[in-house]
């Protein structure tokens, strides 16, 4: 799965957006533009918008960060199953399928991404994070955010979905920022 930006919204005046808690996304994409019914059985890697999900259908909240909560429809299972995320500006949930889900903040991402030993090419989510970080923190690509990192982490989070509970060398990252899905991309 390789998805490119089909719509990109950047702050026209970086100084006007950087550091504000105004809630306007620096980057927005349409990777979650599809509308699906609750429990749609999406293929692994796809994330779509789901509205009107009953609280009983969500499952259990398993992790919360940066204003988003991931719900697992069957947390005792190790098989692929529906997961939901809330916290989006449109009031709807996002649905995806995974066997294992982890959340990581901007500090964790930077700690891994900027290690000198990390020779992995930049993914779509890495590239989009660099755009967000540059606008919000004023830091160039490949350099840490700096003093605004904690504030950036309060509005930006990575959700990593795995197709199996163990021994998985592939995964999908969803980058959530200011109430939208800013990017989604697979890793190998």
Contact 7, 20 (CB under 8 A): no
In 37-170 the beta strands, taken as DSSP E runs, fall at: 47-50, 60-65, 68-72, 81-86, 93-98, 100-105, 156-162
For the stretch 106-122, pLDDT in tens is 999 999 999 999 998 99
Residue-wise pLDDT tens digits, 137-181: 999 999 999 999 999 999 999 999 999 988 888 999 999 999 999
């Amino acid at each position: 799965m390789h998805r490119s930006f089909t719509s990109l919204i950047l702050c026209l005046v970086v100084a006007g957006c950087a550091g504000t808690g105004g809630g306007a996304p620096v980057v927005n994409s349409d990777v979650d533009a599809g509308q699906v019914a609750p429990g749609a059985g999406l293929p692994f890697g796809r994330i779509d918008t789901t509205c009107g999900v009953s609280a009983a259908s969500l499952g259990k909240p398993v992790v919360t960060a940066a204003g988003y909560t991931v719900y697992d429809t069957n947390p005792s299972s190790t098989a692929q199953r529906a997961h939901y995320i809330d916290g989006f500006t449109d009031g709807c949930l996002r649905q995806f399928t995974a066997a294992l889900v982890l959340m990581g903040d901007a500090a964790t991402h930077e700690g891994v991404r900027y290690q000198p030993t990390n020779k992995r090419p930049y993914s779509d989510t890495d590239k989009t994070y660099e755009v967000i970080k540059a606008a919000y923190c004023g830091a160039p690509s490949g350099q840490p955010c700096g003093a605004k990192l904690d504030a950036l982490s309060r509005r930006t989070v990575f959700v990593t979905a795995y197709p199996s509970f163990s021994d998985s060398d592939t995964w999908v990252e969803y980058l959530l920022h200011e109430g939208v899905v800013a990017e989604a991309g697979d890793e190998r």
